Amino acid sequence: MNADNTFEYNSVNYKEFLKKFRNFNSSKHNLIVFAGPFHTNRNAALDELKREVIGEVVEVDLAEIITAYEEETYQNIDKALEDIDQNAPLIIFRNAEQLNGAYTAYSGSIVKYATPQEKYFLKHVKSIKAPVVLEFKDFDQLDRTVVRTADSVVYFRPPSSLIEKLAWKLQNVHVHGSSFLSPRPVK
């Protein structure tokens, strides 16, 4: 992991990232990863990026594109990338954890490796000549391939103060249903 491109939201490095983003030539590819469970801050950061660009921001939900079948996913990725307006100033891919597949625990490894779908997506998303944001809802779903490929990785850690923790916990209570992320075993 490159410490220069990995930082937390609202840190000094994040402020520097925003300055660079404001001056960034939107006709160049730039892969930005937003990862972490604090979705309030993630959404605030996405809104901040949207305000910095001129034009219509494109949002793509990867949950609708990525399937368990490689060939079908490749076709869906190709179609989604073709449908993106080449003049879009910012592209946001939501639910990026869909790229990583599921940890099945059939091996002794605790490392979650990139799936063929993820490798295909990362290879082809480079053709987009604009800033691209991949949004991960949890740190566990972020793998080394994405971190190595990204130009910037922004972490959204859970709140640390007591009042923020309480509000965050209340906001994340699930009464009906839950999220079924694929956690990795702990070392």
Domain boundaries, position 108: 6-171
The three-class DSSP label of residue 35 is strand
As a whole number, the mean pLDDT across the chain is: 81
Dump pLDDT digits (tens) for 104-125: 555 555 556 678 888 999 999 9
In a domain, 39, yes or no: yes
Burial class of residue 121 (count of CB atoms within 10 Å of its CB; 0-12, 13-18, 19+):
buried
pLDDT value, residue 110:
56
In a domain, 179, yes or no: no
Mean of pLDDT values over 48-68:
89
Q: Count up the domains in the chain and report the number.
A: 1
Give the C-alpha separation, 164 to 179, whole Å: 22
In a domain, 178, yes or no: no
The three-class DSSP label of residue 128 is coil
Other Cβ atoms less than 10 A from the Cβ of 43: the count is 13
Residue 17 or residue 139, greater confidence: 17
Sheet containing strand 58-61, strands side by side: 6-8, 152-155, 30-35, 131-136, 91-94, 58-61
pTM: 0.79
In a domain, 183, yes or no: no
In a domain, 47, yes or no: yes
CB 142, CB 42: distance < 8 Å:
no
Is 165's pLDDT higher than 90?
Answer: no
